[in-house]
Amino acid sequence: MAHIVAGVTTSHVPAIGAALDGGKAAEPYWAPVFAGYEASKAWIAALKPDVVILVYNDHASAFSLDMIPTFAIGCAAEFPPADEGWGPRPVPVVKGHPKLAWHIAQSVILDEFDLTIVNKMAVDHGLTVPLSLMFGQPDAWPCPVIPLAVNVVQYPPPTGARCYKLGQAIRRAVESYDEPLKVVIFGTGGMSHQLQGPRAGLINSVFDRAFLDALVADPANLALKPHIEYLREAGSEGIELVMWLVMRGALNAEVREVHRFYHVPASNTAVGHIILENAA
Ligand SMILES: [Fe+2]
């Protein structure tokens, strides 16, 4: 049987990828950001997951206003990095795990949780930046990755409660898979940020820190937070944080916090990063 052994949350800011790809990681602005992930890279290199399920949102790269799946799972054998306007990131092609992805799709859909099945998809910074932060700059990503895209770009995004329940359904799916795989699930995006309008540049560290605390200790309650509260407190793009609840729903109620990092600013956002292990 496969197991979800740990969860990771991380911001997926595109400028982080650009800094890394452009050789700017050691510059004074970026060095503190990457320093927050050094322990994380060592942790995941030691853990050696067999598969990563990566919850992220597409930023009008694979999808557009022509088609807006609320939840979409990538079942392809591979996913090329998307061209987001300045050429694809110089990172390895992401190899999928079609067998497990199809199993999750079947299990979750028959569990009354509809997913859009995607057999061809480019993946943008939402997926590749978290891989870079956790795995560095290898010639090939060290394990297969199953993309799980959530619509947080076009209203209405799913509620935090729905995302939390999806995480629980994904856990049931993984645990009914008949191979002894060690799975880590990533929830990405956030934290507080607003990219447009009179409040552009908004950062709310008090909200962010409380969110991190609740994510660890009181996730069921955190999942009840309404959209308007994310918008008001964390800015219009802070709604990306609902994706972290998919990750948290896939873990035990009780978890062990392995690592936490919070840093302002990275581009126009607050970077939040946490690693949680399922208690044995
Ligand atoms: Fe994003």
Residue-wise pLDDT for 76-131, tens only, equals 999 999 999 989 999 999 999 999 999 999 999 999 999 999 999 999 999 999 99
Catalytic residue, chosen from 125, 227, 259, 263, is 125
Question: What separation in Å is there between the alpha carbon of 194 and the centre of ligand 1?
Answer: 11
126 domain-assigned: yes
Over the stretch 144-172, which tens digit does the pLDDT of each residue have? Answer: 999 999 999 999 999 999 999 999 999 99
pLDDT of 280: 65
The residue-averaged pLDDT of 19-29 equals: 97
Task: Give a yes or no: residue 275 inside a domain.
Answer: no
The Å distance, Cα 27 to ligand 1 centre, comes to 23
C-beta separation of 81 from 88 below 8 A: yes
Check: CB of residue 48 under 8 Å from CB of residue 183: no
Chain segment 189-220, per-residue pLDDT in tens: 999 999 999 999 999 999 999 999 999 999 99
Q: Is the pLDDT of residue 134 over 90?
A: yes
Alpha carbon 33 to its chain centroid, in Å, reads 17
**Catalytic residue list contains 125:** yes
Spacing, Cα 31 to ligand 1 middle (Å)? 21
The one catalytic residue among 193, 227, 259, 263: 193
Quote the number of domains for the chain: 1
| CATH value at residue 32 | 3.40.830.10
Q: Has 59 been annotated as catalytic?
A: no
Q: Is residue 273 domain-resident?
A: no
- 278 occurs within a structural domain: no
**pLDDT, position 279:** 78
The predicted pLDDT at position 68 comes to: 96
Q: Find out whether the peptide bond into 191 is cis, omega within 30 degrees of 0.
A: yes
Q: How many beta carbons lie within 10 A of that of residue 64, not counting itself? A: 11
With respect to residue 168, please indicate whether it lies within any of the assigned structural domains: yes
For residue 50, being part of any structural domain is answered with yes
Distance 215 CA to ligand 1 centre (A): 19
Instruction: Give me the helices (H) in the chain, please.
Output: 14-21, 31-35, 38-47, 98-110, 125-135, 160-175, 205-217, 219-222, 227-234, 242-249
Mean pLDDT to the nearest integer, 228-235: 97
What is the distance in A from the centroid of ligand 1 to the CA of 238?
Answer: 9
pLDDT given at position 191: 96
In three-state secondary structure terms, 64 is strand
Nearest residue to 170 (alpha-carbon basis) of 183, 152, 180: 183
The answer to whether residue 122 is domain-embedded is yes
This prediction has a pTM of 0.98
Flag whether pLDDT at 27 surpasses 80: yes
How much distance in Å is there from the Cα of 192 to the middle of ligand 1? 11
What is the Cα–Cα distance from 56 to 188, expressed in whole angstroms? 5
Confirm whether 117 is domain-assigned: yes
* pLDDT, the chain, mean: 97
Does 37 have pLDDT greater than 90?
Answer: yes
Q: Which residue segment(s) compose the domain that 225 sits in?
A: 3-266
- Give the Å distance between the CA of 201 and the centre of ligand 1: 15
pLDDT of residue 118: 98
Share of the chain above pLDDT 70, in %: 100
Q: How far, in Å, is the centroid of ligand 1 from the Cα of 168?
A: 23
